Amino acid sequence: MENNPKPYLDTPFKQDVYKGLSDFPKHLSSKYLYDANGDKIFQAIMNLPEYYLTNSEFSILQENKEEICTLFAENTPAFNLIELGAGDAKKTKILLAHLNSINANFKYLPIDLSENALKQLESSLAEDFPNIHVAPKCGSYIDALETVAFSKNNKNIILFLGSNIGNMLISQAISFLKKIKRLMHKNDILFLGCDLKKDPQLILNAYSDTSGITASFNKNILKRINTELQGNFNVESFMHWEAYDPESGTAKSYLVSQKPQQVTIAAINLKVHFKAWETIHTEISQKYDHEMIQQLSEEAGLKIVSKFGDKQDYFQNYLLIK
């Protein structure tokens, strides 16, 4: 940080935690939920009965893999399959298996913030698909996208699955899509997974499961501050709280202090006071309807050319071009 009056704020994590916990209302970015422990808890979330998103998108890909893969592979001798936020690529493996079975000529480039997730993915892909060329890239989505071999000669297919776009505010999603559009060439495709507005109770349940796994995922951010920034959060004195607004389609996660307390975070020289029931906002999970996606794409300058839904109308995958 240039001209930093606080030299101990020497990493983005430290700067963001300092800023977020000094603001009112307090907030922390959901990108910090994912360390090795957070990755593991998120895998468990994806297997929760309440977390319908994974199964919905899984069934869409399973049922439409032939058509989707044909659209990916048409009009090009070879293509790059670039995935933003690949994680364990559980759903992507449906497409990889099908592309492999039709001998498609492609390279898979998974991008993820988590080095740990990418290492595990690389070894599981080597086992499942030894003949697929895999080139993982660690980093934030746009930074990594800018550095991967975006081929001018072959088509680039960008996968952004799992409602990852939902973890951005709508305004952030538009500017993010605009950045992707700028990197795309004429023939390139963005394949986007969006969670849809539905029975508000189902959405609420997906983010406040009865086994408490989502609560431990949310609280992991405090544990991370404790271990990485020498904090002394009493994690159990915070409760996980989810709120869903069916009008805007925004689900918001909070950590709520159940008593007045003071927390010290030594590495950033910060003392944080919490009143009883004061909140830290940690994540948004935006739900869309078709008109909202249409508008989002138009504002980003992208065109929807195909869409694929599940039987229950819970989730939608969109194929976009520039």
Q: Which residues bind to ligand AVI, rule: CB under 6 A?
A: 45, 53, 162-164, 166-167, 207, 214, 217, 283, 285
Smallest separation, CB 78 to ligand AVI (Å): 30
Nearer Cβ to ligand AVI (11/216): 216
Nearer Cβ to ligand AVI (80/214): 214
Nearer Cβ to ligand AVI (251/268): 251
Nearer Cβ to ligand AVI (166/231): 166
Nearer Cβ to ligand AVI (163/317): 163
Nearer Cβ to ligand AVI (45/148): 45
Nearer Cβ to ligand AVI (217/288): 217
Smallest separation, CB 31 to ligand AVI (Å): 10
Smallest separation, CB 224 to ligand AVI (Å): 15
Smallest separation, CB 157 to ligand AVI (Å): 20
Smallest separation, CB 125 to ligand AVI (Å): 20
Smallest separation, CB 118 to ligand AVI (Å): 16
| 3-state DSSP of the chain | CCCCCCCCCCCHHHHHHHHHHHCCCEECCHHHHCCHHHHHHHHHHHCCCCCHHHHHHHHHHHHHHHHHHHHHHCCCCCEEEEEECCCCCCCHHHHHHHHHHCCCCEEEEEEECCHHHHHHHHHHHHHHCCCCEECCEECCHHHHHHHCCCCCCCEEEEEECCCHHHHCCHHHHHHHHHHHHHHCCCCCEEEEEEEECCCHHHHHHHCCCCCCHHHHHHHHHHHHHHHHCCECCCHHHEEEEEEEECCCCEEEEEEEECCCEEEEEHHHCEEEEECCCCEEEEEEEECECHHHHHHHHHHHCCEEEEEEECCCCCEEEEEEEC
Closest residue by beta carbon to ligand AVI: 285
Smallest separation, CB 277 to ligand AVI (Å): 22
Nearer Cβ to ligand AVI (285/297): 285
Torsion of CA 287, 289, 295, 298, to 10 degrees: 90
Smallest separation, CB 33 to ligand AVI (Å): 7
CA 289, CA 293: separation in Å to the nearest integer? 6
Q: How many CA atoms lie within 13 A of 168 on its CB side?
A: 16
